[in-house]
Amino acid sequence: MSRPKRGDALSLTIDDLAFGGEGVGRADGYVVFVRGGVPGDRLRIRLVEARARFGRGTIEAIEAGSPDRVEAPCPYFGRCGGCRLQHLAYSAQLASKAKQVADCLERLGGLGSFEIRPIVPAPEIYGYRNKMEFTVAGTAGEPVIGLHEADRYDSVLDIERCLLQSDSLNALLDETRQDARARRLSIYDQRTGEGLLRFLMLREGRRTGEAMANIVTSAPEIATLAPLADRLRARVPGPVSVVVNVNSRKASVAVGTEEHLLAGRDHINESLGGLTFQVSANSFFQTNTVQAERLFGLVETACELTGGETVVDLYSGTGAISLLLARRCRWLYGIEVAATAVEDAVRNARANGIDNCTFLPGEVRQHLPALVRNGVKAEVVVADPPRAGFHPKALRALVSLAPARLVYVSCNPATLARDAADLTRAGYRLDWVQPVDMFPHTPHIEAIARLTRRG
């Protein structure tokens, strides 16, 4: 049979999920990716892309729905670029994510015998996010404050209520929209560079009840925004901080070059694992507080600390893992490229009375070799690298450091498989891997891997 062409109508069964959450089916062996397809679906689809080895299709009809297909509760589902798996039963989401981790480690990493532990489900599958970033579009008097449409950066959906954030944050979202509409605040136009409002970033301390509205603007028009700050603080019962970040550049990012405090403090507090963390407008902090606490607990257990160890925390961020581990080791070194995150880590250590940490700002591939040259010995290393995984130079330095135990936290199973394979060739054994679902209804999956040095 000839290869299907763009525009062809096909009938196929979805038998898997790809990494981005698309359904995967086959028409006489030809692979087709279908957005919105659920494993077990029988679909009639229309090919919108036809390459030599695969195609992409859109659903024209569900001929027979999968038993795992459910009704998505969000009215924006299918158009919004955020949640892609609300139409898939949560148990099936978990099974698919666990399978993806195992497949990567076995296929891409070629790793031998190791234990895949059952995936850790999230206790809350809605309202779990403590941070959301919304884009402001539209015109004065008719603002649009929401999220980008799926696979589009030129269209923003006006989101009245996002199911992934709390009622308090949804109230702040609504109040911002009402004020911008009532006072006809100007909206930034990416093409002309004119207008004021650009983004609205909302944060919340899930354990403390504190909230923050970070209004990203093109100019420091503080007097214009002061009434909005008053309305936001009156709208929700808990403490609310309101800050303005000014981004006058063309770059469409919700980070400013200067910050102004309109109301409250310049940070909120969050509690995690018995420690208190100060979270500022542009700080990195795990966006699922409840599940992060469970993830960090698994990391702490995997380290098997007895109190006398030196620990190195690579890609340490604002120090959440570092400070939790510092309570159970002799000394800890944290390495993080973002200088502002290191400042947060130092501040958080001081606030919690922890004084056995050294935080180093800079690249892991530069600081880790320096620690080895300076004779630092570490029994345990924890690493939480970005999606790209370890830089080769950093991985070589890690092997030279030769810790007895390595706990690797990954947000990308493919790079975890690559790095774990390199480490096993360098003398380590992969003991077990624990998938953890941090972000229900999205394709993202975290995994913890524990490796020990052989001999």
**Residue 445: CB partners within 8 Å, gap ≥ 6?**
97, 100, 101, 411, 413, 435, 436, 437, 438
**Residue 343: CB partners within 8 Å, gap ≥ 6?**
none
Cα–chain center distance at 69: 25
pLDDT at position 432: 97
- Cα gap 231→183, rounded to integer Å: 12
Q: Where do the domains of the chain lie, and which CATH numbers do they carry?
A: 9-64 (2.40.50.140), 95-123+288-453 (3.40.50.150), 131-272 (2.40.50.1070)
Q: Is residue 104 annotated as part of the catalytic site, yes or no?
A: no
Query: Which is catalytic among the residues 80, 162, 303, 411?
Result: 411
pTM: 0.93
pLDDT at position 148: 93
pLDDT at position 1: 58
CA angle 53, 54, 55 (to 5 degrees): 145
**Tens-of-pLDDT digits for all 455 residues of the chain?**
578 999 999 999 999 999 889 999 999 999 999 999 999 999 999 999 999 999 999 999 999 999 999 999 999 999 998 899 999 999 999 999 999 999 999 988 888 789 999 999 999 999 999 999 999 999 999 999 999 998 888 899 999 999 999 999 999 999 999 999 999 999 999 999 999 999 999 999 999 999 999 999 999 999 999 999 999 999 999 899 999 999 998 888 888 889 999 999 999 999 999 999 999 998 888 999 999 999 999 999 999 999 999 999 999 999 999 999 999 999 999 999 988 889 999 999 999 999 999 999 999 999 999 999 999 999 999 999 999 999 999 999 999 999 999 999 999 999 999 999 999 999 999 999 999 999 999 999 999 999 999 97
289-292: long-range contacts at Cβ-Cβ below 8 A with a sequence spacing of 24 or more? 289/130, 289/205, 289/206, 289/207, 290/122, 290/123, 290/124, 290/128, 290/206, 291/120, 291/122, 291/123, 291/124, 291/128, 291/436, 291/437, 291/438, 292/320, 292/438
Q: Where are the alpha helices (DSSP H) in 124-261?
A: 167-182, 222-235
**CB-based contact 337:317 (threshold 8 Å):** no
Around Cβ 118, how many Cβ atoms within 10 Å? 9
